[in-house]
Amino acid sequence: MSENQESKLYEPSAAAREGAHVSGMAAYQRLVDEAEADHAAYWARLAREFITWKQPFTQALDDANAPFFKWFQDGTLNASYNCLDRHIEAGKGDKTALIFEADGGEVTRTSYKELLARTCRIANGLKSLGVKKGDRVVIYISMSVDGVAAMQACARIGATHSVVFGGFSAQSLRDRIEDTGAVAVITADQQVRGGKHLPLKAIVDEALALGGCDSVKNVLVVRRTGAELPMTAGRDLWMHELTAQQADACEPEWVEAEHPLFLLYTSGSTGKPKGVQHSTGGYLLHAALTTKWTFDLKDDDIFWCTADIGWVTGHSYITYGPLALGGTEVVFEGVPTYPDAGRFWKMIQDHKVTIFYTAPTAIRSLIKAAEGNEAVHPRRYDLSSLRILGSVGEPINPAAWEWYHANIGGGRCPIVDTFWQTETGGHMITPLPGATPLVPGSCTLPFPGITAAIVDETGNDVPNGQGGILVVKKPWPSMIRTIWGDPERFKKSYYPPELKGYYLAGDGAIRDAHTGYFTITGRIDDVLNVSGHRMGTMEIESALVSCTELVAEAAVVGRPDDTTGEAICAFVVLKRPRPTGEEAKKIAAELRNWVGREIGPIAKPKDIRFGDNLPKTRSGKIMRRLLRSIAKGEAITQDTSTLENPAILDQLSETN
Ligand code: WTA
């Protein structure tokens, strides 16, 4: 592997190096050294440079109550002021902030001035309903100018937003509303994806009807399609009616740096999804800093991150990072395959996108599409505006990397393979495009100031070339602050006592013996990564067994998949005799839909297999490793002598 890595180095071109914010490895190393010499002073310098503070902070890091770290604690700021007003004050009010392209292709440009006005109207509307600093607001909306403005509006008045991805079911939405205790939900009548109109407000109604959401006083509905909707009097309001009467200026609420900017739910290995709590000051600093250094963002760039605002990537690299820097970005409502699989390439061409950031799953599916249909091959489009490419969410396999590099980047654009997590707020391990020589499939080196390392189960460093557990040794400004309402779970999940106070990422990793580069080897817990979406196997198991009429027992594992990275494979024991043939297919389809309703379509198992039992040890523990082998279609090499009924292995190998 090491020899391979060195022979595959892609050095940054002179063009990539020239004028880059971080140009050359010596510049990278200087930053790493500066952080190492005085960690807190390094971050304090950057926090002063990147953030406009209302009241400057006097202390960078407070670690008195570790692992509940505090950054820039006595400073006050407002995130929306930093993303909008300050650029207007600097004379950039007419600069385009958002180039919004709707599913059907209509394009709307929103300047900084206009985005501020929209944000303030929504902020004032929220205030008129009594929403105030510290309240939580759930946002369940698709990609839109109003989606971004709604997040900014919450930040403006000090309300903590929690965006729920529009693909989650009513049940999942209900759970999040209840956990946050939100006072308001912002949604749209419908969402438009791939030419289809899909419900949003109707799902909010269904979620609220499920109960446990008494905290919600108002539902604000953005008009997207004009669909006829029942509106509950006294609770539901049209956003355009509410905001029509509002002023387009709103004094920002200056909040302490530690004030929770947002909660975002993500899956863990046990229990329900956890509400990851992020701060205002430290989070915004890293979102801005990484946008600048990792993407080398300049004033005239057209940046496009294809993520949804329902995920952390959409928070850091759509709503906050690019706007904090006064950049211009594309916001896309639709899907990469509509009206055809050339949509991304056409949009890059039309908007002259210079920096493009997407997920390996999208790349892999577009490779397939391009290979099957010359009309949507990227060579049919003018992609010469591009200068930097990015990848996020899951490991990018070297073949997809090479294709992306050659066909989208024309062989000239560096690819930044950014490793990070919902919990980390921003990039942790990533190349810097004007500095780091690249290796396909490796996220290369830690971002300056991020003390990523690989250790064994007792927290001791492992030598390069030997895999281990990925940790971060020192706290950093944009780290998760706690799990909303469950500080104990936060400590247990991320700061297990045996790891010497290091942050546990939950991924395995290995450093190359020669280059020292990091390669992520995948999760070390029961978290799956399907199309870049995080899912807990336990969550899907609970959803399956909650179908009490049918299901007696279920076990869920992941198996590698060429397009989605990992695929969900469920092994199910029914309360009735094991079905076969058509009946098995019918029940499998029913269960898939069940999981879709319980969690969301993204959690539907690809494979469902039925058995009379599950393989268990004598103590009754499900042998998941065995199930993983079966899911992959591998020959069983494990010792199966302890199994009560080895014949079930054959049963479980049959797909439906
Ligand atoms: C995985 C998404 C390899 C990893 C920003 C991590 C990656 C989880 C990469 C977080 C990458 C993310 N290479 N693996 N470049 N980026 N991952 O919270 O397993 O949705 O722990 O955040 O995705 O997923 P999350």
Beta strand extents in 134-232 (DSSP E only) = 136-140, 160-163, 184-188, 190-193, 196-199, 218-222
Distance 393 CA to ligand 1 centre (A): 4
Q: Which atom of ligand 1 approaches the CA of 534 most closely?
A: 20
The Cα–Cα gap between 143 and 309 comes to 7
User: Helices (DSSP H) in 270-324: which residue ranges?
Assistant: 281-294, 312-314, 321-324
Distance 529 CA to ligand 1 centre (A): 8
Question: What is the DSSP code (8-state) at residue 60?
Answer: S
Q: Would you state the pLDDT for residue 362?
A: 96
Q: Would you state the pLDDT for residue 444?
A: 98
| pTM to 2 decimal places | 0.96
Q: Would you state the pLDDT for residue 1?
A: 43
Tokens 């079966």 belong to 630
Beta pairing class for 355-358 and 388-392: parallel
> Which residues is 560 bridged to in the sheet?
566
Q: Would you state the pLDDT for residue 642?
A: 72
Single out the residue of 392, 120, 152 nearest to residue 262, CA to CA. 152
Give Cα 142 to chain centroid, integer Å. Answer: 15
Taking CA atoms only, the protein residue closest to ligand 1 atom 14 is 394
Q: Would you state the pLDDT for residue 486?
A: 97
Distance 59 CA to ligand 1 centre (A): 31
Beta strand extents in 409-464 (DSSP E only) = 415-418, 452-455
Query: What are 585-641's pLDDT values in tens digits?
Result: 999 999 999 999 999 999 999 999 999 999 987 777 888 889 999 999 988 777 777
Q: Would you state the pLDDT for residue 4?
A: 62
Distance 422 CA to ligand 1 centre (A): 8
Q: Would you state the pLDDT for residue 549?
A: 95
Give Cα 553 to chain centroid, integer Å. Answer: 31
Query: What are 482-519's pLDDT values in tens digits?
Result: 999 999 999 999 999 999 999 999 999 999 999 999 99
Distance 451 CA to ligand 1 centre (A): 17
Please state, for a pLDDT cut of 70, what percent of the chain lies above it: 99
Question: Which parts of the chain register pLDDT below 50?
Answer: 1-2
Taking CA atoms only, the protein residue closest to ligand 1 atom 4 is 394
For 196, other C-beta atoms within 10 Å of its C-beta total 11
Distance 505 CA to ligand 1 centre (A): 10
Q: Would you state the pLDDT for residue 2?
A: 47
Q: Which atom of ligand 1 approaches the CA of 505 most closely?
A: 21
Pocket probe for ligand 1: among 263, 439, 529, the residue whose CB has the most ligand atoms within 8 Å is: 529
Q: Can you read off the two tokens belonging to residue 513? A: 């013996």
Q: Which atom of ligand 1 approaches the CA of 527 most closely?
A: 19
Q: Would you state the pLDDT for residue 6?
A: 66
Distance 539 CA to ligand 1 centre (A): 19
Taking CA atoms only, the protein residue closest to ligand 1 atom 8 is 421
Distance 407 CA to ligand 1 centre (A): 24
The Cα–Cα gap between 586 and 550 comes to 12
Beta pairing class for 160-163 and 184-188: unpaired
Residues near ligand 1 (Cβ within 6 A): 266, 312-313, 392-395, 417-422, 443, 505-507, 520, 523, 529, 534
